[in-house]
Amino acid sequence: MKAITAAVARSAGGNLTLEDCQLSAPQACEILVRVEACGICHTDLVAVNQHWPVPLPAVLGHEGVGVVEALGEDVSEFAPGDRVLMSFGACGSCSRCTQNEPGYCQFAPVFQVQGRRLDGSSPLSQSGESLTGHFFAQSSFATHAVASITNVVKVDAEMPSHLLAPLACGVLTGAGAVLRSLQVRPGSALAVLGCGAVGLSAIMAARIAGCREIVAVDLNDERLALAVELGATGSLNSGRDPIKKSLRKLGGMDYVIDTTAVPELMRQGFDGLSARGTLLCVGVGRPGAELSLDMSMLLTGGRSVRGCIEGDALPQEFVPELVRHWLAGRLPLEKLVTTFPFAEINTAISALAAGTVIKPVLVMD
Protein backbone atom coordinates (compact mmCIF):
# COMPACT_ATOMS: atom_id res chain seq x y z
CA MET A 1 0.00 0.00 0.00
CA LYS A 2 1.18 3.52 -0.84
CA ALA A 3 0.17 6.45 1.37
CA ILE A 4 -1.27 9.25 -0.77
CA THR A 5 -3.41 12.37 -0.47
CA ALA A 6 -6.71 12.43 -2.37
CA ALA A 7 -9.69 14.78 -2.67
CA VAL A 8 -12.66 12.76 -1.42
CA ALA A 9 -16.29 13.52 -2.34
CA ARG A 10 -18.50 12.37 0.53
CA SER A 11 -21.88 14.04 -0.07
CA ALA A 12 -23.89 15.19 -3.08
CA GLY A 13 -22.96 18.77 -3.92
CA GLY A 14 -20.64 19.01 -0.92
CA ASN A 15 -17.05 20.18 -0.76
CA LEU A 16 -14.25 17.72 -1.41
CA THR A 17 -11.86 17.10 1.46
CA LEU A 18 -8.14 16.35 1.15
CA GLU A 19 -7.60 13.13 3.07
CA ASP A 20 -4.90 10.55 3.65
CA CYS A 21 -5.68 7.37 1.71
CA GLN A 22 -3.98 4.12 0.74
CA LEU A 23 -3.36 3.08 -2.84
CA SER A 24 -2.68 -0.55 -3.67
CA ALA A 25 0.03 -1.65 -6.09
CA PRO A 26 -0.96 -1.77 -9.78
CA GLN A 27 -2.43 -5.01 -11.00
CA ALA A 28 -1.89 -6.61 -14.41
CA CYS A 29 -2.12 -4.06 -17.24
CA GLU A 30 -2.05 -1.14 -14.79
CA ILE A 31 0.53 1.49 -13.86
CA LEU A 32 1.15 3.67 -10.81
CA VAL A 33 1.37 7.34 -11.75
CA ARG A 34 2.61 10.28 -9.68
CA VAL A 35 0.14 12.95 -10.72
CA GLU A 36 1.58 16.32 -11.82
CA ALA A 37 -1.65 18.01 -12.92
CA CYS A 38 -5.32 17.20 -13.42
CA GLY A 39 -8.00 19.13 -15.24
CA ILE A 40 -11.46 19.61 -13.78
CA CYS A 41 -14.20 18.72 -16.25
CA HIS A 42 -17.96 19.32 -16.27
CA THR A 43 -18.36 15.55 -15.85
CA ASP A 44 -16.63 15.80 -12.47
CA LEU A 45 -19.31 18.31 -11.44
CA VAL A 46 -22.01 15.96 -12.72
CA ALA A 47 -20.57 13.25 -10.48
CA VAL A 48 -20.14 15.52 -7.44
CA ASN A 49 -23.75 16.65 -7.75
CA GLN A 50 -24.84 13.02 -8.23
CA HIS A 51 -26.54 13.56 -11.59
CA TRP A 52 -24.41 10.54 -12.34
CA PRO A 53 -24.85 8.11 -9.44
CA VAL A 54 -21.14 7.57 -8.76
CA PRO A 55 -20.99 5.69 -5.43
CA LEU A 56 -19.77 7.93 -2.61
CA PRO A 57 -17.33 8.35 -0.99
CA ALA A 58 -15.37 8.74 -4.20
CA VAL A 59 -12.19 10.19 -5.61
CA LEU A 60 -12.96 11.75 -8.98
CA GLY A 61 -10.72 13.34 -11.61
CA HIS A 62 -10.20 12.03 -15.13
CA GLU A 63 -7.76 14.38 -16.86
CA GLY A 64 -4.55 13.36 -15.12
CA VAL A 65 -0.98 13.87 -16.30
CA GLY A 66 2.00 12.46 -14.46
CA VAL A 67 5.07 10.26 -14.31
CA VAL A 68 5.04 6.46 -14.16
CA GLU A 69 6.44 5.15 -10.88
CA ALA A 70 5.64 1.43 -11.03
CA LEU A 71 4.28 -1.19 -13.43
CA GLY A 72 1.83 -4.04 -12.96
CA GLU A 73 2.31 -7.40 -14.63
CA ASP A 74 2.13 -7.65 -18.42
CA VAL A 75 3.03 -3.99 -18.97
CA SER A 76 5.68 -3.56 -21.65
CA GLU A 77 4.56 -0.33 -23.34
CA PHE A 78 5.63 1.91 -20.46
CA ALA A 79 8.59 2.23 -18.11
CA PRO A 80 9.18 4.05 -14.83
CA GLY A 81 9.94 7.69 -15.59
CA ASP A 82 7.65 7.89 -18.63
CA ARG A 83 5.40 10.93 -18.73
CA VAL A 84 1.81 9.96 -19.46
CA LEU A 85 -1.67 11.34 -19.99
CA MET A 86 -4.57 9.35 -18.52
CA SER A 87 -7.76 9.46 -20.59
CA PHE A 88 -11.15 7.71 -20.22
CA GLY A 89 -11.70 4.09 -19.16
CA ALA A 90 -12.32 1.26 -21.61
CA CYS A 91 -11.80 -2.49 -21.45
CA GLY A 92 -9.77 -2.75 -24.66
CA SER A 93 -11.25 -6.09 -25.67
CA CYS A 94 -15.00 -5.75 -26.36
CA SER A 95 -16.36 -5.43 -29.90
CA ARG A 96 -16.31 -1.61 -29.79
CA CYS A 97 -12.82 -1.38 -28.36
CA THR A 98 -11.41 -3.78 -30.94
CA GLN A 99 -12.95 -1.58 -33.66
CA ASN A 100 -11.02 1.43 -32.26
CA GLU A 101 -14.17 2.90 -30.71
CA PRO A 102 -13.21 2.89 -27.00
CA GLY A 103 -15.66 5.67 -26.16
CA TYR A 104 -18.43 3.16 -26.74
CA CYS A 105 -16.88 0.33 -24.70
CA GLN A 106 -19.64 -1.95 -23.44
CA PHE A 107 -18.16 -1.71 -19.96
CA ALA A 108 -17.87 2.09 -19.94
CA PRO A 109 -20.44 2.50 -17.12
CA VAL A 110 -18.25 0.38 -14.84
CA PHE A 111 -15.36 2.83 -15.23
CA GLN A 112 -17.12 6.15 -15.83
CA VAL A 113 -20.05 5.80 -13.41
CA GLN A 114 -19.29 3.04 -10.93
CA GLY A 115 -15.63 4.03 -10.75
CA ARG A 116 -14.45 0.43 -10.38
CA ARG A 117 -12.34 -2.15 -12.13
CA LEU A 118 -14.16 -4.79 -14.16
CA ASP A 119 -13.95 -7.19 -11.22
CA GLY A 120 -15.66 -4.62 -8.99
CA SER A 121 -12.56 -3.77 -6.97
CA SER A 122 -10.95 -0.40 -6.32
CA PRO A 123 -7.25 0.32 -5.77
CA LEU A 124 -8.10 3.04 -3.24
CA SER A 125 -8.98 2.60 0.40
CA GLN A 126 -8.96 4.39 3.73
CA SER A 127 -8.46 2.63 7.05
CA GLY A 128 -9.47 -0.62 5.42
CA GLU A 129 -12.64 0.84 3.81
CA SER A 130 -12.80 0.67 0.02
CA LEU A 131 -13.45 3.99 -1.75
CA THR A 132 -14.62 4.57 -5.31
CA GLY A 133 -11.14 5.03 -6.71
CA HIS A 134 -11.03 3.97 -10.36
CA PHE A 135 -13.16 6.78 -11.85
CA PHE A 136 -12.52 6.83 -15.62
CA ALA A 137 -9.93 4.13 -14.80
CA GLN A 138 -7.76 6.65 -12.92
CA SER A 139 -9.32 8.81 -10.09
CA SER A 140 -6.65 11.48 -10.50
CA PHE A 141 -7.82 14.09 -7.97
CA ALA A 142 -4.93 12.72 -5.95
CA THR A 143 -1.17 12.84 -5.61
CA HIS A 144 -0.98 9.35 -7.14
CA ALA A 145 -3.28 7.18 -9.24
CA VAL A 146 -3.42 3.61 -10.45
CA ALA A 147 -4.49 3.69 -14.09
CA SER A 148 -5.39 1.08 -16.67
CA ILE A 149 -3.00 1.20 -19.62
CA THR A 150 -5.84 0.86 -22.12
CA ASN A 151 -6.24 4.60 -22.55
CA VAL A 152 -2.93 5.87 -21.20
CA VAL A 153 -0.83 7.85 -23.69
CA LYS A 154 2.91 8.50 -23.51
CA VAL A 155 3.34 12.23 -24.07
CA ASP A 156 5.92 14.72 -25.26
CA ALA A 157 7.99 16.24 -22.46
CA GLU A 158 7.98 19.63 -24.25
CA MET A 159 4.35 20.37 -23.38
CA PRO A 160 3.61 21.62 -19.83
CA SER A 161 1.51 19.31 -17.67
CA HIS A 162 -1.19 21.92 -17.01
CA LEU A 163 -1.78 22.25 -20.77
CA LEU A 164 -1.58 18.53 -21.46
CA ALA A 165 -4.24 17.65 -18.89
CA PRO A 166 -7.27 19.00 -20.83
CA LEU A 167 -6.33 16.81 -23.80
CA ALA A 168 -7.52 13.80 -21.80
CA CYS A 169 -11.22 14.65 -22.11
CA GLY A 170 -12.43 18.23 -22.66
CA VAL A 171 -10.21 19.17 -25.59
CA LEU A 172 -10.29 15.60 -26.89
CA THR A 173 -14.10 15.81 -27.01
CA GLY A 174 -14.38 19.24 -28.62
CA ALA A 175 -11.63 18.86 -31.19
CA GLY A 176 -12.60 15.25 -31.82
CA ALA A 177 -16.20 16.26 -32.51
CA VAL A 178 -14.95 18.30 -35.48
CA LEU A 179 -11.97 16.29 -36.72
CA ARG A 180 -13.16 12.75 -35.92
CA SER A 181 -16.93 12.50 -35.34
CA LEU A 182 -18.03 14.86 -38.12
CA GLN A 183 -14.84 14.90 -40.21
CA VAL A 184 -15.90 18.33 -41.39
CA ARG A 185 -15.17 19.37 -44.94
CA PRO A 186 -13.05 22.42 -45.76
CA GLY A 187 -15.26 25.32 -46.78
CA SER A 188 -18.24 24.14 -44.70
CA ALA A 189 -20.33 26.10 -42.21
CA LEU A 190 -20.35 25.10 -38.54
CA ALA A 191 -21.90 26.52 -35.38
CA VAL A 192 -20.91 25.69 -31.81
CA LEU A 193 -23.45 26.06 -29.03
CA GLY A 194 -21.65 26.85 -25.78
CA CYS A 195 -18.18 28.35 -25.43
CA GLY A 196 -16.74 26.41 -22.53
CA ALA A 197 -13.59 24.32 -22.87
CA VAL A 198 -15.28 21.76 -25.15
CA GLY A 199 -16.92 24.36 -27.37
CA LEU A 200 -13.82 26.53 -27.72
CA SER A 201 -11.79 23.43 -28.55
CA ALA A 202 -14.30 22.67 -31.30
CA ILE A 203 -13.89 26.21 -32.63
CA MET A 204 -10.10 25.89 -32.75
CA ALA A 205 -10.47 22.54 -34.52
CA ALA A 206 -12.92 24.04 -37.02
CA ARG A 207 -10.31 26.62 -37.95
CA ILE A 208 -7.74 23.82 -38.36
CA ALA A 209 -10.24 21.98 -40.59
CA GLY A 210 -10.68 25.03 -42.84
CA CYS A 211 -14.34 25.83 -42.19
CA ARG A 212 -15.70 28.81 -44.09
CA GLU A 213 -18.17 29.87 -41.39
CA ILE A 214 -17.56 29.23 -37.68
CA VAL A 215 -20.34 30.66 -35.53
CA ALA A 216 -19.94 30.76 -31.74
CA VAL A 217 -23.08 30.84 -29.57
CA ASP A 218 -23.05 31.63 -25.86
CA LEU A 219 -24.61 33.89 -23.21
CA ASN A 220 -21.27 35.36 -22.15
CA ASP A 221 -19.93 38.18 -24.33
CA GLU A 222 -16.37 37.75 -23.00
CA ARG A 223 -16.38 34.12 -24.06
CA LEU A 224 -17.79 35.07 -27.44
CA ALA A 225 -14.95 37.56 -27.89
CA LEU A 226 -12.45 34.82 -27.02
CA ALA A 227 -14.17 32.49 -29.50
CA VAL A 228 -13.59 35.04 -32.25
CA GLU A 229 -9.96 35.38 -31.18
CA LEU A 230 -9.61 31.58 -31.43
CA GLY A 231 -11.09 31.34 -34.91
CA ALA A 232 -14.84 31.99 -34.94
CA THR A 233 -15.93 34.10 -37.89
CA GLY A 234 -19.05 35.32 -36.07
CA SER A 235 -20.80 35.17 -32.72
CA LEU A 236 -24.35 35.12 -31.38
CA ASN A 237 -25.52 35.84 -27.85
CA SER A 238 -28.28 33.32 -27.19
CA GLY A 239 -29.84 35.66 -24.63
CA ARG A 240 -30.63 38.35 -27.18
CA ASP A 241 -29.98 37.07 -30.74
CA PRO A 242 -32.46 34.88 -32.68
CA ILE A 243 -30.33 31.77 -33.19
CA LYS A 244 -32.40 29.97 -35.83
CA LYS A 245 -33.00 33.10 -37.90
CA SER A 246 -29.37 34.19 -37.67
CA LEU A 247 -28.01 30.79 -38.75
CA ARG A 248 -30.47 30.58 -41.64
CA LYS A 249 -29.50 34.10 -42.73
CA LEU A 250 -25.99 32.74 -43.22
CA GLY A 251 -27.39 30.06 -45.50
CA GLY A 252 -27.80 27.43 -42.80
CA MET A 253 -25.14 25.35 -41.10
CA ASP A 254 -23.68 22.12 -42.40
CA TYR A 255 -22.93 21.19 -38.80
CA VAL A 256 -24.06 22.33 -35.37
CA ILE A 257 -22.21 21.04 -32.30
CA ASP A 258 -24.05 21.36 -29.01
CA THR A 259 -22.06 21.37 -25.78
CA THR A 260 -24.80 22.82 -23.56
CA ALA A 261 -27.42 20.03 -23.36
CA VAL A 262 -30.05 22.80 -23.19
CA PRO A 263 -33.00 21.39 -25.20
CA GLU A 264 -34.40 24.71 -26.41
CA LEU A 265 -31.03 25.92 -27.66
CA MET A 266 -30.39 22.55 -29.31
CA ARG A 267 -33.73 22.79 -31.13
CA GLN A 268 -32.86 26.25 -32.45
CA GLY A 269 -29.51 24.94 -33.60
CA PHE A 270 -31.18 22.04 -35.38
CA ASP A 271 -33.62 24.45 -37.07
CA GLY A 272 -30.61 26.45 -38.30
CA LEU A 273 -29.17 23.49 -40.23
CA SER A 274 -29.04 23.47 -44.01
CA ALA A 275 -30.25 20.44 -45.97
CA ARG A 276 -28.30 17.29 -45.04
CA GLY A 277 -26.90 19.09 -42.00
CA THR A 278 -26.06 17.35 -38.73
CA LEU A 279 -26.65 18.31 -35.11
CA LEU A 280 -23.98 16.63 -32.99
CA CYS A 281 -24.75 16.43 -29.27
CA VAL A 282 -21.79 16.22 -26.88
CA GLY A 283 -23.16 17.97 -23.78
CA VAL A 284 -24.09 15.93 -20.69
CA GLY A 285 -27.71 16.67 -19.82
CA ARG A 286 -29.71 16.04 -16.70
CA PRO A 287 -31.29 12.59 -16.52
CA GLY A 288 -34.70 12.61 -18.19
CA ALA A 289 -34.11 15.76 -20.28
CA GLU A 290 -35.86 15.49 -23.65
CA LEU A 291 -35.27 17.10 -27.04
CA SER A 292 -38.26 17.79 -29.30
CA LEU A 293 -37.78 18.46 -33.01
CA ASP A 294 -39.92 19.35 -36.01
CA MET A 295 -40.23 15.99 -37.79
CA SER A 296 -40.67 17.64 -41.17
CA MET A 297 -37.19 19.15 -40.81
CA LEU A 298 -35.76 15.67 -40.45
CA LEU A 299 -37.60 14.34 -43.48
CA THR A 300 -37.59 17.11 -46.05
CA GLY A 301 -34.03 18.26 -45.54
CA GLY A 302 -32.42 14.93 -44.75
CA ARG A 303 -31.06 16.41 -41.55
CA SER A 304 -29.72 14.21 -38.78
CA VAL A 305 -29.13 14.24 -35.03
CA ARG A 306 -26.54 12.11 -33.31
CA GLY A 307 -24.51 11.95 -30.14
CA CYS A 308 -20.83 11.39 -29.63
CA ILE A 309 -18.63 10.30 -26.73
CA GLU A 310 -15.09 11.64 -26.27
CA GLY A 311 -15.10 13.00 -29.82
CA ASP A 312 -15.08 9.44 -31.23
CA ALA A 313 -11.32 9.65 -30.70
CA LEU A 314 -8.72 6.99 -30.07
CA PRO A 315 -6.53 8.72 -27.46
CA GLN A 316 -3.26 7.04 -28.44
CA GLU A 317 -3.69 8.30 -32.00
CA PHE A 318 -5.46 11.64 -31.46
CA VAL A 319 -3.60 13.06 -28.45
CA PRO A 320 -0.23 13.16 -30.30
CA GLU A 321 -2.00 14.96 -33.16
CA LEU A 322 -3.35 17.56 -30.73
CA VAL A 323 0.12 17.99 -29.23
CA ARG A 324 1.47 18.68 -32.72
CA HIS A 325 -1.22 21.32 -33.27
CA TRP A 326 -0.24 22.97 -29.97
CA LEU A 327 3.45 22.95 -30.89
CA ALA A 328 2.57 24.58 -34.22
CA GLY A 329 0.52 27.30 -32.50
CA ARG A 330 -2.82 26.09 -33.87
CA LEU A 331 -4.24 25.03 -30.48
CA PRO A 332 -3.49 27.84 -27.98
CA LEU A 333 -4.72 26.03 -24.87
CA GLU A 334 -3.06 28.60 -22.62
CA LYS A 335 -5.97 30.92 -23.45
CA LEU A 336 -8.39 28.46 -21.83
CA VAL A 337 -6.51 27.18 -18.77
CA THR A 338 -6.40 28.64 -15.26
CA THR A 339 -4.26 26.75 -12.74
CA PHE A 340 -5.05 26.16 -9.07
CA PRO A 341 -2.98 24.46 -6.34
CA PHE A 342 -4.38 21.03 -5.44
CA ALA A 343 -5.32 22.36 -1.98
CA GLU A 344 -7.68 24.86 -3.65
CA ILE A 345 -9.73 22.23 -5.45
CA ASN A 346 -13.05 23.49 -4.07
CA THR A 347 -12.27 27.04 -5.20
CA ALA A 348 -11.49 25.67 -8.67
CA ILE A 349 -14.73 23.66 -8.78
CA SER A 350 -16.76 26.70 -7.71
CA ALA A 351 -15.08 28.85 -10.36
CA LEU A 352 -15.94 26.32 -13.06
CA ALA A 353 -19.55 26.03 -11.87
CA ALA A 354 -19.90 29.83 -11.80
CA GLY A 355 -18.35 30.21 -15.25
CA THR A 356 -15.60 32.55 -14.06
CA VAL A 357 -12.93 30.27 -15.52
CA ILE A 358 -13.02 28.15 -18.68
CA LYS A 359 -10.72 25.26 -17.82
CA PRO A 360 -9.43 24.92 -14.26
CA VAL A 361 -6.41 22.66 -13.87
CA LEU A 362 -5.09 21.46 -10.53
CA VAL A 363 -1.32 21.49 -10.10
CA MET A 364 -0.02 18.99 -7.56
CA ASP A 365 3.00 19.82 -5.41
Residues 258-285: tens digit of each pLDDT: 999 999 999 999 999 999 999 999 998 7
pLDDT of residue 296: 81
Q: Is the pLDDT of residue 286 over 80?
A: no
Q: Is the pLDDT of residue 287 over 80?
A: no
pLDDT of residue 26: 97
> pLDDT averaged over the chain?
95
CA 164 to chain centre: 12
Residues 114-140: tens digit of each pLDDT: 999 999 999 999 999 999 999 999 999
Residues 173-228: tens digit of each pLDDT: 999 999 999 999 999 999 999 999 999 999 999 999 999 999 999 999 999 999 99
Label residue 225 left, alpha or beta by phi (over 0 means left) and psi (-120 to 50 means alpha): alpha
pLDDT of residue 148: 95
> What is the C-alpha separation between 62 and 64, in angstroms, rounded?
6
Model confidence band, residue 241 (pLDDT cutoffs 50, 70, 90): very high
pLDDT of residue 298: 80
The per-residue b/e assignment along 245-255, b for 16 or more CB within 10 angstroms, e otherwise, is: ebbeebebbbb
pLDDT of residue 301: 85
The percentage of the chain sitting over the pLDDT mark of 90, rounded to a whole number, equals 92
The structure's pTM equals 0.95
- For residue 192, the tally of other CB atoms under 10 A from its CB is 33
Q: Is the pLDDT of residue 365 over 80?
A: no
The answer to whether residues 274 and 251 touch, using CB atoms and an 8 Å cutoff, is yes
